[in-house]
Each structure stands twice: as structure tokens, then as C-alpha cells.
Amino acid sequence: MLAAEQFNRQLSIDPEWLAPCYYQGEGRDDGSSMGFKRIVRCCLLMAIFCLCGAVKAMPLTTVAQDSRPKYMQDNQGDMQGVAVDILRALEQQDPELKIEGYDRLVPLTRIKRMLKEGFIDLFAGLAYTPERERDFRYLKPPLYRLRYIAVVRADFPLDKDRLATIEELASQGRMISLFGTAASDYLLRRGISVDDGAKNVEAMLLKLLAKRGDILFYHDLGLLHTIDELELNDQVQVVSMSYRSYDHYLVVSEQLEQPYLDRLQRALQAIHDNGVLEAIGQRYHLKPDP
């Protein structure tokens, strides 16, 4: 499938040039010269079919998720973010890898369906679950690790001797988290009351500063980036505890052909081993594994 698509995309051949290769009717063969040309052109076309995959790599397809700073648009509308930086690092590691489509924002539910059905080849930045592993492949090593942290107002009277568990932390004030996220579910599963009415990280922080809650609970990637972006470092304090951590992975469609899968795996292992993955993560406040 990919090889056929590659041929259609990469080549543009005048049908008239090819006509002698397949025309079998009367009146077209004007002698031995035309017959010779027909043979030569047919041979050239067959060679192109055989070699097109080796000459230029077929672009692999992906999409972006509306989740800052994993994927985010800059002032010029260009896509940036930790996942985009990783995809570009993979391309730089293996120039034969071409990845396109990360300028398209798509909801996560649809992304998972597109992966499962083979409409996209890969996606960067997905957490592991056993259910998801039945639908697509997870490549290792992971791209980066997320840690759930807490943030309070700078003047909040936090008892730092009662932080060992999330229950001790929650007993000190009203919890805020983000609607429909694993962070909110984590609190609710433990019987902790949480205001998760906010729709994005900025709204959560504004609610905290307005004293409509006391303790904000979310992962470090989104939270620390937004605090920097809104220049709120002097108005909040980060609780230096990690109450839960998990990894984000590069995942690929089950329908992706093995040669492409192998190239991705080799490139991913290389940027892990040479420190590129860690350097990208540190640009976004992500701590390396101990």
C-alpha cells in the first residue's frame, strides 16, 4: 500500500510518454524504431517501480493533539512542542524517515481511532494501557516521563510535614484539577473531592489565584509550562512531591509495514542513547529518570 502511494506521489509521468508501453492496437507501431522505444520505456518504468521505495522514503503520517506543550502553535501558526521536537529529532537521526501531518489538531479519541484503523501511521505522546496495547504497538524506550505534582498560591499556609501521601495533601485545602483527565480520575478514585470544572490549565491557575480552590493537581509538563508562559512563578509555589508518574510513548499502527517500523525503532533507540530525548525533555521541565 505504501509503495503504491509513494509511486503516485513521487512520480509525475506524461501518459503520452508511456503510451507505447501498453498500446496494443493498430496504427501505433511505425516500425522497428518504435518497437525499440517501446521496449526501452517499458524497462525504465519497471525499474522505477522496483526502485522508487529505495530512492526516497514514503512520508509517514501522524496528527497533533490539542494539548500544550505536547503540541502547540506559535505566533506564526507553526506547530511546536515536545512531541513535535521528538518527531523532528527522529527525522534528523534518520534522513530517510519523513513524518508529516503534525500540523493538524485532532481530538484524542479520534486519534486513537485513526491509529487503530490505519488512517495514520504513528502518534507521539500516548500513555500505556492494556486496552490500547490491543489496538496499536508501543515502541520503547518511552519518549518522556510525566509526574503529577501540586501547586498552591505563594501565600498558602501549607504544612510541609503532611505531604507524604495525596490524602495528606488533600486534607489541607480544596483540590482543583482538569476535567476529564487522568489527574482528576486519580483523585476521584481515592475518594478525594475535586473541582474539575476547568477546561484548560490556564483556567485552573486563574481559579487558584482567585482563591476558588487551594491546591492544583496536574502533571508537570502542562502545569510548569503554563506557569512560565503566564509569568506566574512569583504567585505560586510548587509542592516538591511526585504523587504519580507514568510514561508517554511513540505508538504506531498495527498496519505499518515492518521496514518502516524497524527504521522508527532504530532511530528512537539512537536518540535515547545519544541524549537527545533527555535534552528535549529538559527544555520542557521534564526530569530524567533517576
CATH number at residue 107: 3.40.190.10
* Cβ-based neighbour number of residue 136 at 10 Å: 20
Q: Would you say 209 and 249 are in contact if contact means Cβ atoms under 8 Å apart?
A: no
Same domain, 112 and 184: no
Map grid coordinates 499502527 to a residue: 253
Straight-line distance from the first to the last Cα atom of the chain, in angstroms, rounded to the nearest whole number: 43
Nearest to 12 by CA among 68, 40, 52, 71: 52
More confident residue, 52 or 255: 255
Q: Minimum mean pLDDT among 51-55, 159-163, 270-274: which range?
A: 51-55
Give the mean model confidence (pLDDT) for residues 140-157: 96
Same domain, 206 and 219: yes
Same domain, 168 and 136: no
Same domain, 39 and 102: no
Which CATH number covers residue 229? 3.40.190
Residue type, 41: R
Kindly state whether residue 290 falls inside one of the protein's structural domains. Answer: no
Backbone φ, ψ for residue 103 (5° rounding)? -95, 0
Same domain, 131 and 257: yes
Nearest to 96 by CA among 153, 146, 57, 142: 57
Residue type, 229: E
Same domain, 276 and 199: no
* Cβ-based neighbour number of residue 250 at 10 Å: 25
Supply 78's cell numbers.
507553526
Angle at which helices 258-273 and 82-93 pack, to 10 degrees?
110
Kindly state whether residue 17 falls inside one of the protein's structural domains. Answer: yes
Same domain, 76 and 128: yes
- By residue range, what is the domain housing residue 34? 2-55
Q: Would you say 171 and 162 are in contact if contact means Cβ atoms under 8 Å apart?
A: yes
Same domain, 183 and 128: no
Give the mean model confidence (pLDDT) for residues 165-181: 93
Kindly state whether residue 254 falls inside one of the protein's structural domains. Answer: yes
Same domain, 141 and 262: yes
Question: Does pLDDT of 264 surpass 70?
Answer: yes
Same domain, 89 and 127: yes
pLDDT in tens, 181-210: 889 999 999 999 999 999 899 999 999 999
pLDDT of residue 181: 87
Domain count, the chain: 3
Write out the H or E segment, with its range, that includes residue 217. strand 215-219
Kindly state whether residue 153 falls inside one of the protein's structural domains. Answer: no
Backbone φ, ψ for residue 231 (5° rounding)? 55, 55
Kindly state whether residue 242 falls inside one of the protein's structural domains. Answer: no
Kindly state whether residue 118 falls inside one of the protein's structural domains. Answer: yes
Kindly state whether residue 241 falls inside one of the protein's structural domains. Answer: no
Same domain, 65 and 139: yes
Kindly state whether residue 154 falls inside one of the protein's structural domains. Answer: no
Mean pLDDT of the chain: 84
Q: Minimum mean pLDDT among 21-35, 52-66, 79-93, 167-181: which range?
A: 21-35
Give me the torsion for CA of 120, 125, 131, 137, rounded to 10°: 60
Domain boundary among 33, 55, 77: 55
Supply 111's cell numbers.
486519534
Residues 271, 85: Cα–Cα separation, whole Å: 12
Write out the H or E segment, with its range, that includes residue 156. none
